[in-house]
Amino acid sequence: MTVYFYTYAGVVKAVENVSFELYKGEVLAIVGETGSGKSVTTRAITKLIQPPGKIVSGSVIYRRDGEEVDLLKLPEEELRKIRGAEIAYVFQDPSSALDPLYTIGYQIAEAVAAHRGGKIKQYLSEAVNLLRNVLIPDPESRVRAFPHQLSGGMKQRSVIAMAISNRPRILIADEPTTAVDVTVQAQILHLFKQLKEQLGMSIIFITHNMGLVAEFADRVIVMYGGKIVEEAPVMELFQNPRHPYTQGLLRAVINPITPQGRLEPVPGTIPNLINPPPGCRFHPRCPYVIKGKCEKEEPPLGNDNHKVACWLYT
């Protein structure tokens, strides 16, 4: 899949030729920093891209009722049925995901009604149940609360309730705990684990926090500059990081329990995506750059269990 943004300054090649698979019942973590393309990729899965962005090419094959469907080719009506029902999103900032003018009970019921039809009011009791599922204390009275009356953690839980209200098969969570406190983050992560067991969902979990990845993910994709640079099961990735960027990322992450000497940041800055560096997009910052090769040709991703896009390994 390739997604470009046509801006005044130039064409931003936000996502370039990204391919991956999501298996049933797994937690796939997508790791990357600003400009890696992780958020754009997941939004593109259900065509949630606004101008000046455009999905230039690619397909999203989704298994539905035993047959395969390309989501990018579906008519808007069909796609709308899938969004929110079979593929649900949880975004980073719960305050902007909730409408301040309606109670959370109403908004959850609305999410249900949008897909099952009928009046919103009839789903209010189901909203109470959902709130209980996401471990909000005293759901019967909370269901009548407005977003501004709730704390950050509870807002995010309400958003998660909305997301799971139609028993989605895939949950895409984009930095869902970045805006909340550490102890609340632990609670929400715990909640995600519980819900995954209960509902048998597959989860795509986007984050820049390697600790969360270690806690929760089954497989990890590392993105940089709009491309996938490494893909591996979680243990493999942490014990044996292959791509120099992944290695740099792990070295720059502070492990609070086991102290390290000096943090080693990754030198340089993220690439300009309007004129990305030729060849491998990481080569200007790579400590192991192979002159004559890395700045000319783009390394392919590879095909085994632990995929890397790096000339050091091909």
Q: Report in angstroms how near the CB of residue 96 gets to another protein at its nearest.
A: 14
- Nearer to another protein by C-beta: 88 or 134? 134
Q: Is residue 101 close enough to count as binding another protein by CB under 8 A? A: no
Q: Report in angstroms how near the CB of residue 212 gets to another protein at its nearest.
A: 5
DSSP letter at 268 equals S
- Nearer to another protein by C-beta: 82 or 135? 135
Are the C-beta atoms of residues 180 and 155 closer than 8 Å to each other?
A: no
CA angle 143, 181, 266 (to 5 degrees): 140
Q: Is residue 162 close enough to count as binding another protein by CB under 8 A? A: no
Six-digit token pair at 185? 């983050």
Q: Report in angstroms how near the CB of residue 238 gets to another protein at its nearest.
A: 5
- Nearer to another protein by C-beta: 152 or 284? 152
- Nearer to another protein by C-beta: 12 or 128? 12
Q: Report in angstroms how near the CB of residue 145 gets to another protein at its nearest.
A: 13
Among 185, 226, 232, 311, binds another protein (CB under 8 A): 185
- Cβ density class 109-120: b for 16+ within 10 Å, e for less: bbbbbbeeeeeb
Which among 131, 90, 87, 77 has a CA at the least distance from the CA of 109? 131
Q: How many residues bind another protein (CB under 8 A)?
A: 51
- Nearer to another protein by C-beta: 197 or 264? 264
Q: Is residue 11 close enough to count as binding another protein by CB under 8 A? A: yes
Q: Report in angstroms how near the CB of residue 165 gets to another protein at its nearest.
A: 23
Q: Is residue 287 close enough to count as binding another protein by CB under 8 A? A: no
- Nearer to another protein by C-beta: 61 or 252? 252
Which among 50, 190, 126, 201 has a CA at the least distance from the CA of 176? 190
DSSP letter at 29 equals E
Distance CA 158, CA 164 (A): 10
DSSP letter at 92 equals S
At a CB cut-off of 8 Å and minimum separation 6, what does 292 contact?
Answer: none
Q: Report in angstroms how near the CB of residue 209 gets to another protein at its nearest.
A: 6
How many other C-beta atoms can be found within 10 angstroms of the C-beta atom of residue 161?
Answer: 26
Q: Report in angstroms how near the CB of residue 151 gets to another protein at its nearest.
A: 5
Are the C-beta atoms of residues 174 and 162 closer than 8 Å to each other?
A: no
- Nearer to another protein by C-beta: 33 or 110? 33
Distance CA 199, CA 167 (A): 7
Q: Where are the beta strands (DSSP E) in the chain?
A: 2-7, 10-15, 27-31, 53-57, 61-64, 67-70, 87-90, 170-174, 202-207, 219-224, 227-233, 307-308
Rule CB under 8 A: which of 119-148 touch another protein?
A: 137
Binding pattern to another protein, positions 196-235, x when CB under 8 A? ------------xxxxxxxx------------------xx
Among 153, 226, 241, 279, binds another protein (CB under 8 A): 153
Among 225, 248, 271, 279, binds another protein (CB under 8 A): 248
Q: Is residue 266 close enough to count as binding another protein by CB under 8 A? A: yes
Six-digit token pair at 210? 């390697």
**Would you put residue 190 in left (φ > 0), alpha (ψ -120 to 50) or beta?**
alpha
Task: Look at residue 213 and give its three-state secondary structure.
Answer: helix
Please report, as ranges, the residues that interact with another protein according to CB under 8 A: 6-8, 11, 33-34, 50-52, 137, 151-154, 181-187, 189-190, 208-215, 234-235, 238, 248-250, 252-257, 259, 262-266, 269-270
